[in-house]
Chains A and B, each alone.
Chain A
Amino acid sequence: MNRQLDIEMATELRFFGKMTASISHEIKNVMAIINESAGLLEDYSLMAEKGMPIDPVRLKVVSERVAKQIQRADGITKNLNNLAHSVDEFKKSVGLRETLELALGLAQRLADMRSVTLELQPPSDFPNVITSPFHLQNLIWHVLDFAMDASGEGKTVGLTLETGPESVEIRFTGLEGLTNLWETAFPTKKEAVLMEMLGATIHRDMNAREIHLVLPRDVQQQLTDSQSITENSD
């Protein structure tokens, strides 16, 4: 039990650390662009002081660049804020659209570093599930991390949803390299711990080159049902 708790805590902290490190790196890049833009404006003003004409179009380009980076920073901090608040409640109703958008937002820079494209393929319906928002983000990240490695030559990971009466499937598609990687690499104990907490399962579809993450629509209901099955079988 202690070992299980250790794995849980280490997995949670590692995820939080990985995401915040990536976010801080991205914020640094935004600041670097704003810093150079401010410097360029200063250069222009010095040139103007020396009587050199400055084309207003050049000023407009810099101004638009700064505005774009402010918008980008706004998106990054919103993601950070959503991640931070995902630990507020252990169990709540969460929208899968927001969950998947946040997951992709958090993973974007790490995907860029691996030259992998992430695509959310919107289904007709984005249902809500009752679950632990933080642990769900954590598990989605683990699957995404593996899926990016398994994306093969295509270098694109798609995400889509299939909704059933009792469960929801998040499908990670386009995994051309799945065959070679799957057997030994995934899921590990870390994912198993998260799956247990969320009442989730992970399946692979080798023909379609997909991984399916199956979540109960209500984690508490799922865990209660499995407990009563275990008790009955005892």
Chain B
Amino acid sequence: MRILLVDDEQELVETLAERLKIRGIEACWATTGDAAMDFLEDENFDLAVLDVKLPGISGIELHKKMKTKCPDLKFIFMTGHGSQDDYAAGTAQTGEDYYLLKPVNIDQLMDKMTKLLSR
């Protein structure tokens, strides 16, 4: 399984990538939408985990661009927004199965990734 983590907090994606590596998952990371798109030029991924709010572009917009480039790529979104309204709005756009609140629980992330890729 190869995944791409996209969040403007570099230390978050770096650490998350290392934890996934320990679990046998190859994870690359990017901190901007442009850097994420650059990855898709050269490499193949099964799944991308996107922060909903990125500098200059929302995770939802980036999802559309990435999906156009790689139609088979699967997505999970994560957000720091705490309110129920934000969560409801986010899941309405993406589906609850593909949405995670920060701080991320690694077991929950692993569970969602496995379910998504087995569909």
Chain B residues proximal to chain A, CB less than 8 Å? 8-9, 11-12, 15-16, 18-19, 22, 53, 55-56, 80-82, 102-104, 106
Contact = CB atoms under 8 A, between A and B. Distances in A.
A114 B81 CA distance: 18
Interface of A: 24-25, 28-29, 31-37, 39-40, 43, 47, 62, 65, 68-69, 112-115
A24 B53 CA distance: 14
Contacts of B56: 113-115
Given A28-B102, A29-B9, A32-B103, A37 B15 contact: yes
Query: Which among A28, A34, A112 has the greatest number of chain B C-beta atoms within 10 A?
Result: A28
Nearest to A35: B103
Nearest to A30: B9
A180 B103 CA distance: 41
Contacts of B9: 29, 32-33
Contacts of A36: 12, 15-16, 19, 103-104, 106
Contact of A29 (B16, B22, B102): B102
Nearest to A155: B56
B102 A40 contact: no
A200 B69 CA distance: 51
Nearest to B81: A25
Nearest to A65: B11
A40 B53 contact: no
Nearest to A72: B11
B19 A40 contact: yes
Nearest to B23: A43
Nearest to A36: B15
